[in-house]
Amino acid sequence: MAATCVALVRRSPLTRKSALTQNSKRRDNQRPQPLSTNRWTSLFELLSVLADRAMHGRSGATLPTVVSHDSRFSVRVCVASLVAFFLCVGCEKGTNVSVVTVSTSDGQTITREPIVLSLPMRTDGPKSMDPVRGSTTYDNRACCQVYETLVEYRYLGPLELKPLLLAEMPEVVNHGTVYRFKLKEGVRFQDDPCFPGGRGRPLTSADVFYSWKRMADNDNSPKSWWLLKGAIKGFDSYREEQNAAETFDYDAEVAGMRIINDREFEVELNQPVYRFMYVLAMFQLSIVPREAVETYQERFGLHPVGTGPFQLRDESDWERANYLILHRNPDYHACHFPLKEEVPEALHGFCKEDSFGKRLPLADRVEISFFIQDQPMWLKFRSREVLYSQVPAESYPSAFIKRTGKLRDSYVAEGIVHHAVPLLDYIFFGFNMEDKLLGGDDDKNRYLRQAISLAIDWDERNAMFYNGNNIVYDGPIPPGLDGYPVNGRAPKNYRGPNIEKANELLAKAGYPGGKGLPEIDYYVSRGANNEEQTELLTRQLAKIHLAMNLHLVDFSTLINAITKKKAPMFSFAWGSDYPDGENNLALFYGPNRSPGSNHFNYQNPEFDDLYEQIRGMAPSPERTKIYQQMRDMVIEDVPAIGSMARTRNYVVNPQLRNFLPTENFYNWVKYLDLAE
Amino acid sequence: MWTFIFRRLVYNVPVYLAILLFVMAALRVSDPVPGFLGKNASQEDYDAFRQKAGLDQPFLKQYVDFVKSIVTCDFSTESWDRTGATVQDRLTKCILPTLSLTVPALIITSIVSVTIGLISAYFRGGLIDRTLVFLAVLGMSVSFLVYIILGQYFGAYMLTRALGTPVFAIHGYRPGLENWPFYMLLPVMISVIVSMGYDTRFYRAAIVEETGQDYITTARAKGASGRKVLFVHVLRNALIPIITRIMITLPFLITGSVLLESYFGIPGMGNELISAINSKDFPIIQAFTAVFAGVFILSNILTDVCYAIVDPRVRLS
């Protein structure tokens, strides 16, 4: 039997004119009052009356007495002009729903106030909501609410993959080269006019291959073809042929893609590559319906249609540099919040008690505000108009006690919770190993690189520019991944500052006291505080009498110089594409050298053999051991100095429940709920 | 008059073409494609994209095509950054939020500044004049960013906390007159306060200069009251510098205010341009620069026409 309740709209800051029911009550008394009741309403009404009279020439008998009879005409004209101008600006678009009707897991239908999540995004918004064209974190965050991939990362648990659009994890046969997939039953695309009758149809195997083939079509300007490059049998040649042909044939066969039936298909790889599973979880490989792509064509990026928990109902719900409003997908397939026993006990406190086992998504509407500047985001967080926020650098001292790094008592008293989220970051100083002075694998050159490494004080950089929040570690594998050294410190390392040892090695390299050593050309992108960071580096290296010739350039120029092997020493950061150390070790794999991702042009046959070995290996203690071995090779040969991983500080208002911030994946919005 | 306007337009055509040539050349000094496609793109991707964007064509052909698109007002080129949206889509979407910020700000600033300039000139050398000049100099000495940060903090955030109800939005924008005061009044007020210092000093100087003219002495000798002299004689003759000042501002009405827009979340032209520059959205940058140059030239012509209207001594022949 349907239970019905009518209550107040849980008003969001983007919502301005929903009607309040008479028996309504505010659940959240800490939230500012509804905007439609503010004093501007009466001002607007007054202006409307004045304008109306000015335009219709009626008597202004009820004009405020402060307006003299003589000045009435000019007032009317001014008001009429203002009204005329602003009416040109347009009318408010209502986005409100006072109540929603939802089905419960036990089959009942209830009417209740909508749950609206007001979330921030620290950018002017996603560039496109076509997964194939997306590449940034922000594209990811927007796309993965509407679209879905075959597998996803586990939320509130260990960082591992689990099926999303699949009925089960794929069966891997033929020595890791053949993957057999079975799609989950009951998955439908969101309703959209592109489908017959406007009703979304069930997902099929053909949709998966169609979506992947879009990655190969140059007309789509895919930014992430490298994810599939060389992976699937016959896919690279298919790409070449079809791009050379007059029209791209999506129905042409690819040797490694085989449809068994509507729900089952098989993929054959050129060689065993374990990262293929991680690639399947990346938003660029989300599944899209062919009908929508063909109907909306170039505008498909503005009109997403997926299988995800939320949908963009109207293109006007997304305004660049302003907001993105997503609504619950009423036909979302059976997907549930983890059961209590599946969630580690330490995380139970973050979860709302009645969320466990509940059908997703928990929210009815998600309103994402875009913030180009940090101050408004922070102020909106402090006034509880957005539910969480990253802590901007300038707000750090007001929110945290610098000495302990703990949240201030006043914040704790408000119920605000702090989460420090380490990123999969690899911030390094790199060398071009083909450079005559700094490169090369003979001892003399290696000593020079080791000496430079020993002169650099990462902790000072961390304290000076990052409030000491970053994690300094040895080698290229970031915290949280297999192969990361215990406590960040490798058994043998060249982490500075150790000026004495650095001078010793410098002498062994043939430059005692830095004599005879020419200036080192150092390339770095300008912007942020890179100039200041370079000052620090210059000062640190001066301690071993090493002089720098600085090249502060645009990021594109930097990448160009590195790709063309013109930069002997350089710096930038690598964010892991997926949570596996293999992604970072690939940066040192010989065949990937410039213009590939091995910007260091590091070549070590032993390292390359090991890399080829681990490429097809699933996570295991054996694989971790090889990762450590490869990590230590990089530390010893010093093609790169480092490293450091940034930590992002999140603060969460008490209204938001079930939120455990992560930046490894972004489809966690479906798990979020509001406090009672 | 029409001959004059036509002649000025014709004179400015080669200037405009030269500006376009310069803009296009400058934007191509550094190849925009690698910057846009990012770290993982291959040489093959760069070439394919260059071909798709028409950047593999000879420069002269690109120039002719671009001029053709300007002449026919055809801005249907697709944005690189937001596929599916044309340059026209993006620019037209931003123009109204920008104008709803800049036009009221210009109108209010001009009215208030001219008024204060007149008051200041009327009480020239007195306490009122000195106080107003002091405040104007003080206003000019503070950075725009400080006004925005403090205005947002106190005017929106603290006021909301103090009253328990939001008076001004901290951030965001909704179209419609009924939303205008809530979302736009605070940014407009900040913009007015920032501009007032400069404008007041300028208008005061222009008005004071007029008060020393012989015709003012004559008017006074004829027995005209101080107010009549100021509002009828001085103000009318001081209109030339006032018009110059306002006309100089006109092209910037469409560029918006990058800082105000980015702090208050107004999806206007300033934001759009900065976003296009950051994301290397070449077609947007190129079109915007061309449009801005055109508006600048037009506003120059309009200034001359206004001179002729307000001052009969200006001969257009």
Q: Of A304, A364, A9, which Cα lies nearest the Cα of A144?
A: A304
Non-local CB neighbours of B304 within 8 Å, separated by 6+ positions = B4, B8
- Cα angle A33, A35, A41 (rounded to 5 degrees) comes to 125
Which one of A375, A526, A555, A563 makes the best mutation probe of the B interface by having the most chain B beta carbons within 10 Å? A375
Any B CB within 8 A of A380 CB: yes
Query: Where does the pLDDT of residue A55 fall: very low under 50, low under 70, confident under 90, or very high at 90 and above?
Result: very low
In this predicted structure, what is the pLDDT of residue A310? 97
In this predicted structure, what is the pLDDT of residue A306? 97
- Quick: pLDDT tens for B247-284: 888 888 887 788 899 899 999 988 888 888 877 788 99
The full 3-state SS of A127-192, as one line of letters, equals CCCCHHHCCCHHHHHHHHHHCCCCEEECCCCCCCEEECCECCCCEEECCCCEEEEEECCCCECCCC
In this structure, what token pair is assigned to residue B136? 């104007």
Contacts of B165 in chain A (CB under 8 A): 32-33, 37-38
| DSSP letter, residue A482 | T
Q: What is the ipTM of this complex?
A: 0.83
Contacts of A219 in chain B (CB under 8 A): 52
In this predicted structure, what is the pLDDT of residue B41? 67
Contact A371 B171 (CB under 8 A): yes
Q: Report which of residues A385 and A95 the model is more confident about.
A: A385
Query: Where does the pLDDT of residue B177 fall: very low under 50, low under 70, confident under 90, or very high at 90 and above?
Result: confident
Contact B40 A226 (CB under 8 A): yes
Contact A86 B48 (CB under 8 A): no
Non-local CB neighbours of A558 within 8 Å, separated by 6+ positions = A523, A524, A525, A567, A570, A572
Using a CB cutoff of 8 Å and minimum separation of 24, what contacts does B204-208 make? Answer: B204/B116, B204/B117, B204/B120, B204/B121, B204/B132, B204/B133, B204/B136, B206/B117, B206/B238, B206/B241, B206/B242, B207/B117, B207/B118, B207/B120, B207/B121, B207/B234, B207/B235, B207/B238, B208/B121, B208/B124
Contact B40 A224 (CB under 8 A): yes
Query: Where does the pLDDT of residue A620 fall: very low under 50, low under 70, confident under 90, or very high at 90 and above?
Result: very high
In this predicted structure, what is the pLDDT of residue B54? 87
Any B CB within 8 A of A219 CB: yes
| DSSP letter, residue A17 | -
Which one of B46, B144, B160, B170 makes the best mutation probe of the A interface by having the most chain A beta carbons within 10 Å? B170
C-alpha to C-alpha distance for A248 and A230, rounded to whole angstroms? 19
In angstroms, the separation between the Cα of residue B300 and the nearest Cα of chain A is: 24
C-alpha to C-alpha distance for A379 and A377, rounded to whole angstroms? 6
- Quick: pLDDT tens for A273-299: 888 999 999 999 999 999 999 999 888
Non-local CB neighbours of B163 within 8 Å, separated by 6+ positions = none
Residue B189 has pLDDT above 90, yes or no: yes
Name residues 89-128 of chain A within 8 A of B (Cβ). Answer: 89-93, 124, 127-128
Q: Of A282, A224, A597, A600, which Cα lies nearest the Cα of B45?
A: A224
Contact B176 A38 (CB under 8 A): no
Contacts of B52 in chain A (CB under 8 A): 218-219, 221
Contact B153 A38 (CB under 8 A): no
Q: CA nearest B98 in A: which residue?
A: A89
In this structure, what token pair is assigned to residue A659? 């939120």
In this structure, what token pair is assigned to residue A528? 């942020």
In this predicted structure, what is the pLDDT of residue A98? 67
Across chain B, what does the average pLDDT equal?
87
Q: Of B100, B263, B264, which Cα lies nearest the Cα of B177?
A: B100
- Quick: pLDDT tens for A579-619: 899 999 999 999 888 877 899 999 999 999 999 999 888 88
CA atoms lying within 13 Å on the CB side of residue A206: 11
- Quick: pLDDT tens for A367-381: 999 998 899 999 999
- Quick: pLDDT tens for A500-535: 999 999 999 999 999 999 999 999 987 668 889 999
CB A189 within 8 A of CB A289: yes
Q: Of B263, B235, B250, B264, which Cα lies nearest the Cα of B292?
A: B250
Residue A221 has pLDDT above 50, yes or no: yes
Residue A66 has pLDDT above 70, yes or no: no
The residue type found at A374 is D
* High-pLDDT (> 90) share of chain A, %: 61
Contacts of A317 in chain B (CB under 8 A): none
In this structure, what token pair is assigned to residue A670? 């479906």
Residue A559 has pLDDT above 90, yes or no: no
Coil, strand or helix at A533: helix
Beta pairing, strands A3-4 & A109-112: parallel
C-alpha to C-alpha distance for A473 and A489, rounded to whole angstroms? 6
Name residues 128-157 of chain A within 8 A of B (Cβ). Answer: 128, 130, 133, 135
Q: Which of A127, A223, A370 is opposite residue B37, by nearest beta carbon?
A: A223
Any B CB within 8 A of A556 CB: yes
CB B172 within 8 A of CB A15: no
C-alpha to C-alpha distance for B199 and B117, rounded to whole angstroms? 8
In this predicted structure, what is the pLDDT of residue A15? 44
Which one of A122, A130, A143, A218 makes the best mutation probe of the B interface by having the most chain B beta carbons within 10 Å? A218
Contact B103 A38 (CB under 8 A): no
Name residues 229-288 of chain A within 8 A of B (Cβ). Answer: 243
Contacts of A556 in chain B (CB under 8 A): 30, 34-35, 280
Neighbours of B226 (CB within 10 A): 9
Contact B84 A298 (CB under 8 A): yes
In this predicted structure, what is the pLDDT of residue A144? 95
In this structure, what token pair is assigned to residue A330? 């009423």
Coil, strand or helix at A622: helix
Residue A24 has pLDDT above 80, yes or no: no
Using a CB cutoff of 8 Å and minimum separation of 24, what contacts does B240-243 make? Answer: B240/B307, B240/B310, B240/B311, B241/B202, B241/B203, B241/B206, B242/B110, B242/B114, B242/B203, B242/B206, B243/B303, B243/B306, B243/B307, B243/B310
Contacts of A40 in chain B (CB under 8 A): 178, 181-182
Any B CB within 8 A of A86 CB: yes
In angstroms, the separation between the Cα of residue B8 and the nearest Cα of chain A is: 30
Non-local CB neighbours of A378 within 8 Å, separated by 6+ positions = A389, A391, A392, A395
Neighbours of A428 (CB within 10 A): 23
Contact B275 A124 (CB under 8 A): yes
Contacts of A127 in chain B (CB under 8 A): 81-82, 279
Looking up tokens 């640190």, which residue turns up? A540
Neighbours of A43 (CB within 10 A): 15
In angstroms, the separation between the Cα of residue A365 and the nearest Cα of chain B is: 18
Residue B38 has pLDDT above 50, yes or no: yes
Contacts of A78 in chain B (CB under 8 A): none
Residue B35 has pLDDT above 80, yes or no: no
Q: Which of B43, B100, B275 is opposite residue A595, by nearest beta carbon?
A: B43
Contacts of A85 in chain B (CB under 8 A): 100, 103
Q: Report which of residues A29 and B24 the model is more confident about.
A: B24
Contacts of A395 in chain B (CB under 8 A): none
Beta pairing, strands A318-319 & A310-311: unpaired
In angstroms, the separation between the Cα of residue B154 and the nearest Cα of chain A is: 11
Q: Which of A89, A124, A379 is opposite residue B100, by nearest beta carbon?
A: A89
Q: Which of A223, A302, A595 is opposite residue B84, by nearest beta carbon?
A: A302
Contact B164 A33 (CB under 8 A): yes
- Quick: pLDDT tens for A127-181: 889 999 887 788 899 999 999 999 999 998 888 899 999 999 999 998 889 999 9
Find the mean pLDDT for residues A387-410. 90
In angstroms, the separation between the Cα of residue B263 and the nearest Cα of chain A is: 6
Q: CA nearest A302 in B: which residue?
A: B84
In this predicted structure, what is the pLDDT of residue B43? 77
Residue A56 has pLDDT above 50, yes or no: no
Contact A38 B271 (CB under 8 A): no
